[in-house]
Amino acid sequence: MKTRQAFNPYLPSWEYVPDAEPHIVDGRVYVYGSHDLFNGLNFCLGDYVCWSAPVDDLGNWTYHGCIYKREQDPAAPRIRLTNGLAAPDMVKGPDGRYYLYYFMGGTKMISVAVCDEPAGKYEFYGYVKYKDGTPIGKRGEPFQFDPGCLMDTDGRLYLYTGFAFGGNPILLDGSQPTKKGPMFFELDPSDMLTVISGDELKYIGVLTGEEAKGTAFESQPFGEASSMRKFNGKYYFIYSSLNSHNLCYAVSDYPDHGFEYGGVLVSCGDVGLPGVPDTAHARMCTGNTHGSLIEIEGKYYVFYHRHSNRKQSSRQACAEEIRFEDGKFYQAEMTSCGLNRGPLAGKGHYPSYIACNVYGINGTRFMSMFKYRKGSNPYLTQSGKDREEGEDQFVANFCEGCTVGYKYFDLRETKTLKINLVGHGNGCTVTVRTEENGKPIARIPVESTKEEKGFSGKLPDGLGEKKALYFSLEGKGSLKIVSFDLM
């Protein structure tokens, strides 16, 4: 039974778990992902942690702590900064144990850890290897990266890996990116490690680079982030395209060939939705994304991540309900209500960090590993240190001409909105809209305040059952949006 509303990001605001692979075990959704640090210098610098929630209460997440440390892998390089634990995937073996497949920078191999419980303390198990014992990645193959696994309904075990970005010499570490898309390996389920599909490399036909030109994959060629799911007898390969901000899919009747391009599942800037033709018009600063699909109690969800702190390596886990009809998925939009299975309540207290649209008067940008200048751009950040628990995240630099949007609320009985601010705002007005470029439904005068202070405005009656809220600032100011209250 549902006890809490679900927001995006669905984990606490101090947690940074991107690249999520969700799996259901005994009525709970477990999320396996990499682990960024707030304001980290690079991706994936933390050890693996695990969170889970009941399938009927997706706002009620439990922290299971660290499940695997980088140093447990015998091949762990001494330097962590460029050799973190990248996106993992989990599969349950025929022996009832849980196997975590992962890539660690500096090794060129796919490693495996094992545990008797889905979120217990995993132990190093071995490296995926050919029959002669050579680990995959050690024969000069294209770069092994971001393993995705599938234990099929007939008990056969499949592994998918690959990386097609050619301009990352630090990550590639002397290896070559794949020019033929993701690689495929069938593994022996008796030991969960040994390749039984042969020594010759196999590709599933999700195309990239030159091979994608003139095909349906040309607009969204394979980049990275392999994940495989099976729905209604068909195989759905999920991947991040070379456009990076798009999570896409391809579909086939077979696990190892015959894949056709399906479409975009989600963009971490809503690029591709009506009114958002390209990254110049993105509704959130873009960067890479990675995730997967899952069915939960008859509904389908896409898991992905967003970016914060004005750089690409402070990523947070998000999820959206996604339309699935006649075997086809349709692009989901970024929302604040994500896993909530409907709009958020029109009365209550909401933290500002659940914003799903954050952009300035000059739009947004594609994040790099270095912080961009604040300028006239609002952004998500926190004041505390990494893993300093407490809902500390907020929208900073709320200034003239910017927009901060929240979707969706049931506003049929909402009478008043109070926005809680800190900063410089003398002579400024917060405008409130239910449509991005619509007429204001409220204008709330604000003033400078050194401590958090609420400013209230009346809302029209009966705004609707599923409405967005967009905040903009008129006047010369720079404020921190801490939270807002609907009454």
The residue among 237, 225, 229, 147 whose CA lies nearest residue 192 is 147
Residues with a known catalytic role: 19, 224
Spell out the SS3 assignment of 196-217.
CCCCCCEECCCCCHHHHCCCCC
Q: Is 280 helix (H, G, I), strand (E, B) or coil?
A: helix
**Residue 230 in contact with residue 243, Cβ under 8 Å?**
no
**356, 8 Cβ separation under 8 angstroms:** yes
Alpha-carbon gap, residue 164 to 432, rounded angstroms: 43
Q: Residue 288 is encoded by which pair of tokens? A: 């890479």
Q: How far apart are CA 430 and CA 455, in angstroms?
A: 9
At residue 480, what is the residue type?
A: K
Which residues sit opposite 123 in a β-bridge?
Answer: 114
Single-letter amino acid, residue 60: N
| Cα R_g (the chain), whole angstroms | 23
CB 102 within 8 A of CB 110: yes
The one-character DSSP state at 334 is P
